[in-house]
Amino acid sequence: MNDYELGATHNKQTLSAKPPRRQGKRLPQYIATLSVSLGALATGTVQGWTGNITDELQNGNFNNIDIDSSDIKWIGSCATLGSMVMCFPNGIISEKLGRKVALLIIAALFICGWLFIVFANCTMMINIGRFITGMGSGAFLIMFPVYVSEIAEKEIRGALIIMAGYTPFGITLVYVLGYAVDAQLCTIIVTVAPFLFMIAMLFQSETPLYRIKQGKEAEARSILIRLRGDSYDVDTELKEIKAVIEEDRKNQSSFKDSLMKSNTKKALGICFSLMFFQQGGGFKAVLFYTSNIFQSSGAELDPKISTIIIGIVQIIAVVFGILVIDKLGRRIVLLLSGAVMALGLIIIGAFFTLSERQLVSLQTLSNLGFMPLLGLVLFNIAFAVGYGALPWMMCAELLPPEIKGMGTAAASTFSWLIAFLVTNLYFDIKMAIGGDSTFYVFAAICILSVVFVFFVVPETKGRSLYQIQMELSGRKHQIEGVENKGFELKSISSQKNNS
């Protein structure tokens, strides 16, 4: 064989050898995320259960149990108490037993709680069931962004986290069931969701990051190949994961010592603030008492139909959020979310002002009857796109590895404490200052959130967890230096190959 033939053969082999791809297959990641999203379905049914059946509960149409307005307040808020209690135990479970096992335990909590409610013969059993299902909801909202962020590529991480936290579908489902069937059958049907969630998660893998933390690199490699495809550059991602874990081990310190670091302080401050704005804007009160809000407004709209419309709007809004979250970025979405939420609440408050304070004639009020629905639609769209899932996502992205579990649990406990206070005291506040002023207070908190995000919250779109920590620490130049060094190495390698 002459030199020409040898050269041709070498070139042919070089062209036929496919280099590892830097972008993995997306379908396996979407399938894993859809399995997790069944937990969001179950969470949504817990959150929306009281939205359209409040009248039936008070009329004694649920298992012939006598329920008054005071009982309704506790039935609505017991779920938030359960969510608050589960935050720290869930973090411990996920670290000791793994992310997948934690999600399976959450499914079991949902099932147990719903069975208490289905077979309830007194308000105490309903409250216990609500508390247990609330435990599942709170634990899921902490766990799903951790699981998804550890299995997803950074380019689609935001969209997948939004998809996994798709609670509006569950909320709308229970709204429709509350309208179409009696409360007992509605409760039995929604009990199916956590069973489906448990079955789906049995077929999913543990996260590669968790397996590497256990020292099981071979298993982590096989998981990544399953999630990304055979031709994906697994070695590069494994190195990135190990770098994050190694950085965690180097910086391993007590919770108290971690709090002294500037990046930890900043991350915790941002996460706690976002959790406050998420709940302080009144979402849980609006969610649990949507039908009651419509009835109180005096608008000539069927409260149950209006509630279903809001649920459908939430579904559409979350789909929109999935499409834009990794294009617009977290900050822009949070800014728009807070601003539109405030606008919706102001519209609701304005209608209550005209109605409760009798500032206009009944005919004018009737003509303005669309305002409560418009305000609630705007509020729910904005919440579903932004504050519904982004605070949980930001916890997963901003908190450093050495404090992520405890930090997320602490921020979540705070979030559910605010949610409990809002839902439990909503009627008392409304009686004390009026329905209009209550919504104006919620709107003011939403406006404050816009100011906070604009001046304080960093952008995390398209950045690895390591890059985010470098920026929070004020070491962004180190990231740029590494990237430039990598570019120089590639250039040198290319020159050698050409020579």
Tell whether 354 is covered by a domain: yes
pLDDT tens for each residue of 367-388? 887 888 888 889 988 988 888 8
C-alpha pair distances (Å), 1 with each of 4, 16, 357, 380: 8, 21, 99, 73
Tell whether 224 is covered by a domain: no
Tell whether 220 is covered by a domain: no
pLDDT tens for each residue of 207-236? 998 898 888 888 988 998 888 888 778 888
pLDDT of residue 21 exceeding 60: no
Q: What are phi and psi of 206, to 5 degrees?
A: -70, 165
Among 295-304, 339-348, 436-445, the minimum mean pLDDT is found in: 295-304
Tell whether 286 is covered by a domain: yes
pLDDT tens for each residue of 33-76? 999 999 999 999 998 888 778 778 888 888 889 888 788 888 88
pTM, two decimals, is 0.73
Tell whether 237 is covered by a domain: no
Tell whether 472 is covered by a domain: no
The tally of domains found in the chain comes to 1
Q: Which domain holds residue 155?
A: 24-204+251-462
Tell whether 474 is covered by a domain: no
Do residues 359 and 349 lie in contact, with contact meaning Cβ atoms separated by under 8 Å?
A: no
How many beta carbons lie within 10 A of that of residue 345, not counting itself?
28
Do residues 386 and 333 lie in contact, with contact meaning Cβ atoms separated by under 8 Å?
A: yes
- How far apart CA 135 and CA 78 sit, in angstroms, is 10
Nearest CA to 130 out of 72, 66, 192, 207 is that of 72
Q: Give me the CATH number covering residue 46.
A: 1.20.1250.20
- How far apart CA 47 and CA 388 sit, in angstroms, is 12
Q: How far is CA 420 from the centre of its chain?
A: 18
In sequence order, what are the beta bridge partners of 21?
232
Do residues 102 and 139 lie in contact, with contact meaning Cβ atoms separated by under 8 Å?
A: yes
pLDDT of residue 360 exceeding 90: no
Tell whether 298 is covered by a domain: yes
Transcribe 448-483 into DSSP letters. Answer: HHHHHHHHHPPP-TT--HHHHHHHHTT-HHHHHHHH
pLDDT tens for each residue of 457-470? 888 776 766 677 67
